[in-house]
Amino acid sequence: MSDGMQPLMPKAAASAKPPLLEVRHLKKYFPIYKGVLRKMVNQVRAVDDVSLFVREGETLGLVGESGCGKTTVSRCILRAIDPTSGEIQFREADGKVTDLAPLDRSELRRFRPQMQMIFQDPFGSLNPRMTIFEIVSEPLYVNGMRSKSEREDHVAELLRLVGLRTEYMARYPHAFSGGQRQRIGIARALALNPRLVVADEPVSALDVSVQAQVLNLMLDLQQKLNLTYLFVAHDLSVVKHISDRVCVMYVGKLVEMAATEELFQSPRHPYTAALMMAVPRPDPSSRDIIQDLPGEVASPANPPSGCYFHPRCQYATEVCRTQTPELREITPDHFVSCHRAEELQLAGIKVNQEQQL
Amino acid sequence: MDNIEPKILQPEGVAPLEKAEPEIEATAARAETFEEPLTTTQEEERISIASNWTLVWWRFRKNVLAVISTVVLIFLATVVLLPDFFATMSPEKTNARLAFIPVQSIHWLDEGQLKPWVPSVEGKRDPVTLKMLWTTDETQKTYVKFFGSSWSYSVLGLFESNIHLVSGADQTQENQIFLLGTDRLGRDQWSRLAFATRISMTIGMISVIVSVVLGLLLGGISGYFGGWIDNIIQRLIELLQSLPTIPIWLALTAALPRTWSPEKVFFAITIILALRGWTTLAREVRGRFLSLREEDFVLAAELSGASQARIILKHMIPTFTSHIIATSTLAIPVMIVTETSLSFLGLGMRPPAISWGVMLQEAQNIQTLALAPWLLTPGLIVIVAVLAFNLVGDGLRDAADPYSH
Ligand SMILES: Nc1ncnc2c1ncn2[C@@H]1O[C@H](COP(=O)(O)OP(=O)(O)OP(=O)(O)O)[C@@H](O)[C@H]1O
Ligand code: SF4
Ligand SMILES: [Mg+2]
């Protein structure tokens, strides 16, 4: 059971690969200002006490509906934004663990090469005024590789790695399709040999036919380069395809984290179960993908008391309305934040068939 | 209910994914087989390596009016740089006996030969009104020469030259060519116009340059850093924009001491014009910075460890340079018209300085107009210049964002 600032590592798996990244009690509140004097009237609890860890070489999927805070979590981890509170423990290659949360711009520079990002929007993530060479070589340049020929060799190698022709270097992004641009973005992310790659919905803006290609490329690269992925998606099937373990978020909170098989077969949180039962709407990015649940997704600006899911949970009891459940390990490597996690018998995807729901 | 399973497991968009699964083990070399066909034609290749500025130029040159206006502006710019070359005589030379000489237009042919000349004018005093009446005498020809030599002047302070666009063919005689007539004091309108163009255009451009520098700086600080400094700059802009322009301009220009030299007045007026001009631009720059801060490619640069200076200079400013140029081009005519109006009212540049507005002062009453309509030519030039700047500015603005289409 984890409480306070205790590390979240599973007891049984402590001997397994050490975590590359461990996030503890991460919070990010966005203030809402009103009026001429810009008085703060409220806060959006975009990320509200999230703890998770990523082991070296694995892919951790992060799923949840639109607006639940996935992007905010990943940007906090990469320190693109300042977290409100919490710890982001990052283990460097030499085993030294550093908390990135309190670091400032200049202190972060040392860590930048080790963690990179793959973006969702293949159009917005490449500067239209730069050539592919300039885009992919920028990380090399700013990190000290001043020789142009050296950079050219490097970029050529990176382009080959992501399956693009090296002659494309002189081109501008406007000459490429979405899938090709995403490959360019991946090449840029890999330029500095990162150990952790955060991919924020890297395929959701792509054509369905191209999605699989890019996902497979990512898996190839993971094997070749021993990458660790934090893979954000709102699409369960994509997450299931690529992840070793999966986290589920609901309104800024982490509700469940377990190995992919385990999570899909025997979810222990009512929200996870509902998510898997959901028949997706035509528009997968719509905020409320679960139609079968009563009520609406809670607002992160005005969350309910106790368990944020209680207004919609069919298993809610009195304690759920008053006490916020902590994320705890109920079976080895399976973390749930639900007061009734042990007692509930929830339908997973396989179970679902047999039970004739 | 067996059919539920695939439905649940394979929400839309998943089928091809599952199909692709066996290929996971394949190598990246395979990834190349996914490559969309290469753009093969030369045209496509040309476009794919075209930089932003090339794309802007390709779009701009399709706009015929804008291209013509650019040529007009280039011509005006040469007048600005070399007014002496265009002038036929000193713009200040007065000669009361040569007042209100009408336009002497150039005749190209003389006895079937190409030999340009202007007819000379002859003045007779009306015995009743005592007014000078000028008649052109076509038999008396003053031959003119193009690119002939006359008095010498300095070219941009670099070297001396004595080449003039138009001069009298007979070097021994004083120039008596009044291509656009003369004014009340017998000053040559054509030569004065050349010098007025220099002053009026530079006032417009310098005040816009000052506005751009202020706007970029303050707008950039405001948008990039935000917070209290943004607040202060925004309130300042609101204050400046809420002031009624005409009374402020009138008050400020009227307050310029009469004893100031024309140069001092010139700079004072550019500053007065720029004082409000920068606010619009600062707003625009701030807006651009704010939206660019959210762009993924800016975040990518940030995550790769690029410095703030590099992000601003390499990623943010190039993205809106073309817009800034378009906006500035559109701001120049406003400045020109303002200066002209102020000078016309006697509040801007004042004689002996020559600007379009100062020249138009000479055309302030109906009698002069009826007698000497050529005194309105500066007004015509103002219209041409303003139109040209507007058309070029519009053309640039439309061409500025090739990625929006
Ligand atoms: N800069 C910001 N200022 C204020 N609120 C914000 C900001 N960024 C995000 N939010 C809010 O925080 C919540 C979480 O947003 P976030 O983008 O992290 O969600 P997400 O899970 O990534 O959603 P999506 O699937 O749409 O990408 C949302 O309610 C959003 O409105
Ligand atoms: S804590 Fe209570 S309300 Fe929340 S998910 Fe568990 S049972 Fe439902
Ligand atoms: Mg997101």
- What pLDDT digit, counting tens, does each position of B50-81 carry? 777 788 888 888 888 889 999 999 999 988 88
Query: Per DSSP, which regions of chain A are E strands?
Result: 19-34, 39-55, 59-63, 85-91, 97-99, 115-118, 196-200, 228-233, 245-250, 253-259, 328-331, 334-336
Q: Is A267 close to ligand 2, i.e. is its CB under 6 Å away? A: no
Q: What is the average pLDDT across A50-78? A: 92
**A192-203 residues labelled b (16+ CB within 10 A) or e (exposed):** bebbbbbbbbbb
DSSP lists the bridge partners of residue B190 as none
Instruction: With H, G, I as helix, E, B as strand and everything else as coil, classify residue A33.
Output: strand
Q: Chain A residue with minimal CA distance to B304?
A: A139
Q: How distant is the Cα of B57 from the closest Cα of chain A, in angstroms?
A: 14
Number of Cβ pairs < 8 A linking chain A and chain B = 173
Rounded average pLDDT over A259-283: 79
For residue A174, list chain B residues with Cβ-Cβ distance below 8 A: 47-48, 402-403
3 state DSSP class of B378 = helix
Q: Of A142, A215, A356, which is closest to B304 when you measure between CB atoms?
A: A142
Cross-chain Cβ contact B52/A161 below 8 Å:
no
CATH class of B67-79+192-400: mainly alpha
CB of A316 closer than 6 A to ligand 2?
yes
Q: Quick check: A238 and B300 CB within 8 A? A: no
The list of chain B residues with pLDDT below 50 reads: 1-35, 37, 405
Rg (Cα) of chain A, in Å, rounded?
Answer: 21
Residue A134 has pLDDT above 50, yes or no: yes
Q: Is the CB of A91 under 6 A from ligand 2?
A: no
**For residue range A323-341, what is the model confidence (pLDDT) as tens digits?**
999 998 988 889 999 998 8
d(C-alpha A342, C-alpha B284), whole Å: 58
Determine whether the interchain pair A109/B305 forms a contact, defined as Cβ–Cβ distance below 8 Å: yes
Instruction: Give contacts of B8 with chain A, Cβ < 8 Å.
Output: 276-277, 279, 349, 352
Task: Quote the DSSP letter at residue A138.
Answer: H
Which residues 289-328 of B are in CB contact (within 8 Å) with A? 295-297, 299-308, 310, 315, 318-319
Nearest CA to ligand 1 atom 29: A67
Residue A29, ligand 2, Cβ within 6 A? no
pLDDT at B130: 66
- Checking if the pLDDT of A352 tops 70, the result is no
- Quote the pLDDT of residue B301: 94
C-alpha to C-alpha distances, A49 to A69, B19, B45, B67, B93, nearest whole angstrom: 11, 38, 51, 60, 84
Tell me, yes or no, if B9 comes closer than 8 A to chain A by beta carbon: yes
Q: Is this structure's pTM higher than 0.80?
A: no
Q: Does B43 touch chain A (CB under 8 A)?
A: no
Q: Which of residues 275-294 of A touch B (CB under 8 A)?
A: 276-277, 279-280, 282, 284
Give me the pLDDT at residue A2, please. Answer: 41
Up-side HSE of residue B31: CA atoms within 13 Å toward CB? 27
Please report how the helices B52-60 and B377-400 are oriented relative to each other, as an axis angle in degrees rounded to 10. 130
Contact state of B19 with A212 under an 8 Å Cβ cutoff: yes
- Both tokens of B23, joined, read 């290929």
Q: Which one-letter DSSP state was computed for residue A34? A: E
- Supply the pLDDT for residue B112: 72
* Interfacial B residues in 239-268 facing A (CB < 8 Å): none
A222 at the B interface (CB within 8 A)? no
| Ligand 3 center from residue B107 Cα (angstroms) | 75
All residues with CB under 5 Å from ion ligand 3: A 71
Position with higher pLDDT, B33 vs A317: A317
Ligand that lies nearest to the alpha carbon of residue A73, given by its number in the listed order: 1
Q: Pick the closest to residue A312 from A276, A348, A288 (CA basis).
A: A288
- Structural domain boundaries of chain B? 67-79+192-400, 96-186
Q: pLDDT (tens digit, 9 = 90+) per residue, B270-311? A: 888 888 888 888 988 888 888 888 889 999 999 999 988 899
Across the interface, which of A112, A185, A213 has its CB nearest the CB of B305?
A112
Are the C-beta atoms of A276 and A353 separated by less than 8 Å?
A: no
Cβ A312 under 6 angstroms from ligand 2: no
The Cα–Cα gap between A261 and A333 comes to: 12
Is the shortest distance between the CB of A268 and ligand 2 below 6 Å?
no
Is B394 in contact with B330 (CB distance < 8 Å)? yes
Which H or E run includes B357? helix B356-361
Give the integer Cα–Cα distance in Å for A243 and A58.
Answer: 8
Using the Cα atoms of residue B109, residue B110, residue B115 and residue B121 in order, give the sign of their dihedral.
negative
> A62-71, A153-162, A331-340, A348-357: which has the minimum mean pLDDT?
A348-357
Six token digits for residue A292: 């079968």
